[in-house]
Amino acid sequence: MIMREVSIIGVGSTVFGKYKETAAEELGRQAIEAALKDANVRHKDIGMAACGNVYGGFCLAQSTLMEVGLAGIEMINVENACVSGSSAFGLAHRAIAVGDYDIALAFGLEKMTSLAPAQLAPADTDLDGRMGLLFPAVFALIMRRYLEKYGVTMEQVAKVSVKNRHNGCLNPYGQYKDEITVQDVLESRMISDPVTMLQCCPNTDGAAAAVLCAADLADKYCDKPVSVAASVICSGDYNHRQGDITFSDLTHKTARIAYEKAGLGPEEIDVCELHDAFASNELMHYEELGFCGVGEGGQLIDSGATALGGKIPVNVSGGLLSKGHPLGASGVAQLAEIVWQLRGEAGERQVEGARVGLAHMLGGAVTGLEAGSCGVHILKI
């Protein structure tokens, strides 16, 4: 099989935050127009578009792209929970790889602040959720087991929030701009013991977009095209059947496939954006992505390796914890951050000499223990 190589030639994002009075389509428009401008493409160059969104409903891609003046092309609305944006990117990537189009647009958007409580309630069929096993409770159970099993401390978990908030203060696209301390995290309101409020990602509105192009045409538009070395979307099995809720087989498997496709290993990743919806997630994902051994996540954050200036800086954008987590947008926003990092345009949060970046999202059923979805993308310049 001959597949075309694909590059990213432009990215854009809104400032993430709370925009209760702004339509989802308007947030999308801002991100898309920024990406089209960055890519230096005309509207008529775009062959297809894929949109990641969870709660917006009915042809949101079409109504958003109308706002931009884009019409008459293939448009796909994708929902894959937190992995919706990553999945939209994956579909746009494949549409170019197969040769159907030369240029495609991937974007994600979410209006979280205007959702009615009923829209966020567990489905009738989700018995665990109806009994109270919502995301904070799921991750509280997982975290508790993780602390116990490996002797990881509350302080090590809190350091993730502190690090990501610090990075977020350096990111003009992020929601929070104030530093916090370990003590702040531990003393913040208890949500689901031992998960406190500052260990949880906030409620956020936002949109992000990326323009993808056949690699052999990318130089025509862009001085610094970023190569997509791997684009992998995978779903999980019943993780809790496998006896260890502290290790996501799904992340591990998806990353393994991505590393194989890219011909790269974890030791070659210079910068990583990963799914830190809750602070303890980040430590476990270090392990699943191969940045350290199993059970060593606490030591890795203590070592400073994942901070800016460390060996493998993680969530330099601020991550979901500080930048915010508009579900459908987050996966695309991660890729925008990696592109800025690889192009050397990340300002105060720049990882020096970054050549290879990895973006990881994980999402799924309300219980969190079931199937769900994972996306891992590896980019290089």
Residues that bind a copy of itself (CB under 8 A): 1-4, 23, 25, 54, 57-59, 61-63, 65-66, 71-81, 87, 91, 94-95, 97-100, 123, 125, 232-238, 250, 253, 363-366, 370-373
CB of 30 vs a copy of itself, minimal distance in Å: 16
Q: d(Cα 324, Cα 81) in Å, to the nearest integer?
A: 15
Q: Which is nearer to a copy of itself, 191 or 250 (CB)?
A: 250
Q: d(Cα 231, Cα 93) in Å, to the nearest integer?
A: 8
SS3 state at 70? coil
CB of 62 vs a copy of itself, minimal distance in Å: 4
Which position among 82, 222, 234, 272 bears the catalytic label? 82
Q: Which is nearer to a copy of itself, 94 or 355 (CB)?
A: 94
CB of 4 vs a copy of itself, minimal distance in Å: 7
252 flagged as catalytic: no
Which position among 93, 275, 325, 360 bears the catalytic label? 325
CB of 371 vs a copy of itself, minimal distance in Å: 4
Q: Which is nearer to a copy of itself, 238 or 352 (CB)?
A: 238
CB proximity list for 202: less than 8 A, separation 6 or greater? 175, 176, 324, 325
Q: How many other CB atoms are there within 10 angstroms of residue 81's CB atom? A: 18
Phi, psi of 8, rounded to the nearest 5 degrees: -100, 125
Q: d(Cα 277, Cα 112) in Å, to the nearest integer?
A: 15
Q: Which is nearer to a copy of itself, 66 or 190 (CB)?
A: 66
| Residue appearing with tokens 């917006």 | 56
82 flagged as catalytic: yes
Q: 123 with 67: CB under 8 angstroms? A: no
CB of 13 vs a copy of itself, minimal distance in Å: 22
Structure tokens at 358: 């990895």
Q: Which is nearer to a copy of itself, 138 or 170 (CB)?
A: 138
| Residue appearing with tokens 């609305």 | 77
Q: d(Cα 11, Cα 297) in Å, to the nearest integer?
A: 31
Q: Which is nearer to a copy of itself, 109 or 234 (CB)?
A: 234
Q: d(Cα 266, Cα 306) in Å, to the nearest integer?
A: 13
Amino acid at 167: N
CB of 18 vs a copy of itself, minimal distance in Å: 17
Our CA dihedral for 224, 313, 366, 31, rounded to 10 degrees, sits at -30
Residues serving a catalytic function are 82, 325
